[in-house]
Amino acid sequence: MPQNKVKISELNQMEEVAASRLMPGKRVGLEGSIDDSWIIAEEMPVGILVNGEDFAVMMLTPSDLEDFALGFALSEGLVSSPDEIKRMALTPVADGYLLNLTIEGEGKSDSFARRRALAGRSSCGLCGAQSLSASVTAPPRVFGVQPQLDAVRKAFAAFGAKQIMRQENHTTHAAALCDRQGNILLLREDIGRHNAVDKLAGAAIKQGYEPSRCFLLLSSRLSFEMVQKAAVLGVPLVAAASAPSVLALKLAKTANMHIVIRNRDELMCFDPKDMPEKGNE
C-alpha cells in the first residue's frame, strides 16, 4: 500500500491531451479492401525547460504528463526530491508542447552536462546527450526483498489486460510497479519505453509507494538506460518481456539489481553476484 503521498507545492493542473487518434485507412485482405479506421498513438515533441532554460526535447505520448515530468526530473538528476519542484507549466506550441519546470535553486549542475542537444526519439532514452560520459553514469545501489518467481509469472500473466492504451493502438509500451505477491499496483504507457518508466516513477513517488518493496515489469527489451532509471526509482528487481543488453547487465551488477527476462514459457534470471565484472568474461 502507498505510504505518505507527495504533494508538489504550487503544482498547477496540467491539461491532459488525447493519447490516441482515430485515423482513416483501408483494410486490405485476399478478397479485396474496405475503408476502415485505426486508433493510432499520438507522438509529440515535448520541449522541457528548467527554470525557463532549454534542457531537452522528448518525443512521447501526451498522457500522464505530470507523472512524466516528475519521473524525468528524478531520473535525470535534476532533483533528488519532488519537493524541489515548485511548479509545472504546460504550454501548447506548434505540433507539440513546452513543459517548464520551476525548480528550487538552479538544479544539480552535473545533470546539465546531460543536457540534450538533439531531440530524444521515442525509441531512445539518451539521444542527444552531449557527452559519452554523461550518457552512461554509475547507477545507485538498490536494496530490498526479492519476490518469488511465481509472483513474477503472475504479474506477466496479468500484464497484457492492464495495458488499455496498447489494446487500442497496438503500439505503446508499458511499465508497471508490482508488489512482492505479483499484483500490479500502477501502470503507465507511452510510445517510448523509457518514457513509460519515467511516467511510472513519477506516479509511484507521487502516490507514496515504496519501490524497495516492489519490482518493475516492462513490456520491452531491457537496455541500459532502463536499468539506470529503475535504479534511481529504487526497485531491487526488473522483469522484462525481451532480452537485455550486456551493458544493461553490467549496470545491474553495479546497482545490485536482479534481472528476470521472459523467454516464451520460461524465465531467465540474472543474479548480480553471479554476473562477471566485464561483459566479455
Active site residues: 124
| Neighbour-count burial for 196-222, b at 16+ CB within 10 Å, e otherwise | bbbbbbbbbbbbebebebbbbbbbbbb
Percentages helix, strand, coil for the chain (3-state, rounded to 5) are 30, 35, 35
DSSP letters along 213-235, please?
GEEEEESS-B-HHHHHHHHHHT-
Task: Show the CA angle centred on residue 231, arms to residues 212 and 66, nearest 5°.
Answer: 85
**How far are the Cα atoms of 8, 146, 148, 152, 230 from residue 275, in angstroms, in the given order?**
39, 17, 20, 21, 18
Grid coordinates standing for 105? 535553486
Radius of gyration of the CA atoms of the chain, in A: 19
Q: Sheet holding 237-240: strands in order across?
A: 184-190, 173-179, 214-218, 237-240, 258-263, 266-270
